[in-house]
Structure 1
Amino acid sequence: MAKIHYKIVQHDGGWAYKLGDVFSESFPTHDAAMRAAKRVAQEQHVPGNDAYIEYQDEKGEWRTEYSAGGDRPDADVTD
């Protein structure tokens, strides 16, 4: 099982949660960003349907791959 960590950081004049190099929208307070990040981490645990997904990789190229709906990461939030 993959493990992912959302991190709370200052961003764009406020606070955001970050996964890797990707930031969420900005929130006015640290607490608001933390609540949003915890909600998103909880949603990572919810199984979905098997599907083909399309995403842009770090080189800007589009990829298509099969995603098993029950293969969910273990997600948490850190400061």
Structure 2
Amino acid sequence: MAKLTYTVVQVGSEWVIRLNDAEYTGYRSQESAVTAAKAVAAKLGLNGSDTFVEVRGTDGSTKTVFASDPEPPTIDSMMDAER
């Protein structure tokens, strides 16, 4: 299973999403970059990849803001929990 980590980082006045050697640029805010990265990571997570989104601070620290669930709950298990 592939492990993919999208890293959101500020570069100058814009926000960038990095994945391996690729950069996706042009985000005007951290929030918009994180939202885009989470959307892609969630979709890939449904296809079986372990996906993560992290935000890198100006001090180099990182904070994970999304992690896919390798075994998401099924509709049936969620319905059983409500009964």
Q: Deviations over 1:36-74 (max 9, x none)?
A: 110110111233xxxxxxxxxxxxxxxxxxxxxxxx311
Find the counterpart in structure 1 of residue 23 from structure 2: 23
CA distance in 2, matches of 1:16, 1:45: 21
CA distance in 2, matches of 1:43, 1:74: 11
CA distance in 1, matches of 2:23, 2:31: 16
Find the counterpart in structure 2 of residue 35 from structure 1: 35
Find the counterpart in structure 2 of residue 76 from structure 1: 52
Higher helix share: 2
Q: How many residues align?
A: 55
Letter in 1 for 2:23: F
Which 4+ residue blocks in structure 1 deviate beyond 3 angstroms? none
Q: CA deviation at 1:6?
A: 0.4
- Which has the higher relative contact order, 1 or 2, with Cα contacts under 8 A spaced 6 or more apart? 1
Say if 1:5 and 1:77, in contact at 8 Å, map to a contact too: yes
Question: Please, which runs of 5 or more residues in structure 2 have no aligned partner?
Answer: 56-83
Q: CA deviation at 1:2?
A: 1.7
Q: Deviations over 1:7-63 (max 9, x none)?
A: 00123630011101211132000111011110110111233xxxxxxxxxxxxxxxx
Larger Rg: 2
Question: Please, which runs of 5 or more residues in structure 1 have no aligned partner?
Answer: 48-71
